[in-house]
């Protein structure tokens, strides 16, 4: 079935926020960003939110007695801002069942590898360590596993013989900054068709063209 329309996005961040910036730079997405959430204070992503006058909150796990309490605080912040869609953009924490049940089919994540290869926090490093010739970027819907949800978009990035993390990561970022906004636009416009693990993007709503 096609995802329903939605227009209030929370972007979850843990660091510099370059993917957040890609969303802020997209005129079709920026007006829908209602909240930026970080799990740590002092990160550059929060400065990016402030520059664009977007509300931002820090929900630090260290300030809560356990994971359930932290996730309840996170969910409360999202509800306080009327959020209906979540974009995990460099967010370094898993979302639990309560969060996913509150936003069914409305949580996207961008990952710096071609899933199901190299899930987890170190996709670029792990791909280099394995010696692959091709890696890439995946945007997927989030489920309770670690980077196991249905894949929305993927694009390959070649690995050069002399690549290291510093040379490969910028090329990965460049692809992330193109793919993530495309997936977010499709979700907000109701153009994601999800059938089990198969996700299609209807390029023109109501037409038969998909990609």
E-only strand ranges, the chain: 9-13, 33-38, 56-58, 85-88, 107-111, 134-141, 151-158, 192-195, 198-201
Is the pLDDT confidence value at 159 over 80? yes
Q: Are 181 and 26 in contact (CB under 8 A)?
A: yes
Residue recorded with tokens 């005129």: 27
The count of other CB atoms within 10 Å of the CB of residue 31 is: 10
Domains and CATH numbers, the chain: 9-201 (3.40.50.170)
pTM over 0.85: yes
Is the pLDDT confidence value at 176 over 50? yes
Distance CA 38, CA 193 (A): 30
Which pLDDT score, from 0 to 100, does residue 43 have? Answer: 95
Q: Are 45 and 36 in contact (CB under 8 A)?
A: yes
Q: Are 199 and 192 in contact (CB under 8 A)?
A: yes
Residues 79-99, mean pLDDT to the nearest whole number: 94
Which pLDDT score, from 0 to 100, does residue 6 have? Answer: 56
**Kind of pairing between the strands at 9-13 and 85-88:** parallel
CA atoms within 13 A on the CB side of 147: 21
The count of other CB atoms within 10 Å of the CB of residue 179 is: 21
Distance CA 31, CA 59 (A): 23
Among candidate residues 111, 140, 173, 177, the one labeled active-site is 111
Grade residue 55 by pLDDT with cuts at 50, 70 and 90: very high
Q: Are 18 and 180 in contact (CB under 8 A)?
A: no
Structure tokens at 199: 């996700």
Q: Are 126 and 120 in contact (CB under 8 A)?
A: yes
Partners of 161 in the β-ladder = none
The answer to whether 81 is a known catalytic residue is no
Distance CA 23, CA 184 (A): 8
3-state secondary structure of 132: coil
Is the pLDDT confidence value at 114 over 70? yes
- Angle (CA) 147-177-41 rounded to 5° is 70
Mean of the per-residue pLDDT values of the chain:
92
Which pLDDT score, from 0 to 100, does residue 203 have? Answer: 83
Residues 202-209, mean pLDDT to the nearest whole number: 59
Structure tokens at 110: 């961008």
Distance CA 131, CA 133 (A): 7
First and final CA of the chain: distance in angstroms?
16
């Amino acid at each position: 079935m096609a995802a329903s329309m939605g227009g209030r996005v929370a972007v979850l961040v843990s660091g510099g926020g370059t993917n957040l910036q890609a969303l802020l730079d997209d005129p079709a997405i920026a007006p829908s960003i209602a909240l930026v959430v970080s799990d740590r204070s002092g990160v550059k992503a929060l400065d990016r939110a402030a520059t664009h006058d977007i509300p931002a909150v820090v929900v630090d796990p260290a300030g809560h007695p356990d994971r359930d309490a932290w996730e309840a605080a996170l969910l409360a912040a999202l509800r306080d801002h009327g959020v209906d869609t979540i974009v995990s953009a460099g967010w370094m924490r898993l979302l639990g069942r309560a969060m996913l049940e509150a936003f069914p089919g409305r949580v996207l994540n961008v990952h710096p590898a071609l899933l199901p290869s190299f899930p987890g926090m170190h996709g670029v490093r792990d791909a280099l360590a394995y010696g692959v010739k091709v890696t890439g970027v995946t945007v997927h819907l989030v489920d309770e596993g670690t980077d196991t949800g249905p894949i929305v978009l993927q694009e390959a990035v070649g690995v050069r013989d002399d690549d290291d993390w510093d040379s490969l990561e910028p090329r990965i970022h460049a692809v992330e900054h193109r793919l993530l906004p495309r997936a977010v636009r499709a979700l907000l416009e109701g153009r994601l068709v999800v059938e089990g693990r198969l996700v299609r993007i209807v390029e023109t709503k109501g037409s038969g063209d998909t990609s």
